[in-house]
Amino acid sequence: DVKVTQSSRYLVKRTGEKVFLECVQDMDHENMFWYRQDPGLGLRLIYFSYDVKMKEKGDIPEGYSVSREKKERFSLILESASTNQTSMYLCASSLSGLMNTEAFFGQGTRLTVV
């Protein structure tokens, strides 16, 4: 039973393209997160959304924007893709206000920018 779904497992885009990474969760979670993962650097938070149309910057927001128009969907946007944005991107969701509950992750999207 899939709970967090990322629209693509693999993507190849050209430098300068506008790229949309989509994430959908079916658990009615308020919180949603976007991370990127690179070898040796662990998981780094790009953006966090705690409600529809609400967002907070994470540790590495530069070059990215996000959209949360509906509770279940959180989109990561690369306005003009660059080769240094080649990475694994992971989406997650969690309930709000309950720090004793778990977060659920998608399977990841491996993006290559050429």
Interface ranges with another protein (CB under 8 A): 4, 31, 33, 35, 40-45, 48, 50, 56, 58-59, 90, 92, 94, 96-100, 102-108
Reduced to 3 states (helix: H, G, I; strand: E, B; else coil), residue 58 is: coil
> What minimum distance in Å lies between the beta carbon of 23 and another protein?
11
Following DSSP, what letter does each residue of 3-18 receive, concatenated?
-EEES-SEEEE-TT--
Let me know: does 64 contact 12? Beta carbons within 8 Å: no
d(CA 10, CA 88): 9
| Least distance between another protein and beta carbon 15 (Å) | 26
CB closer to another protein, 17 vs 59:
59
Q: Write down the least CB distance from residue 76 to another protein, Å.
A: 15
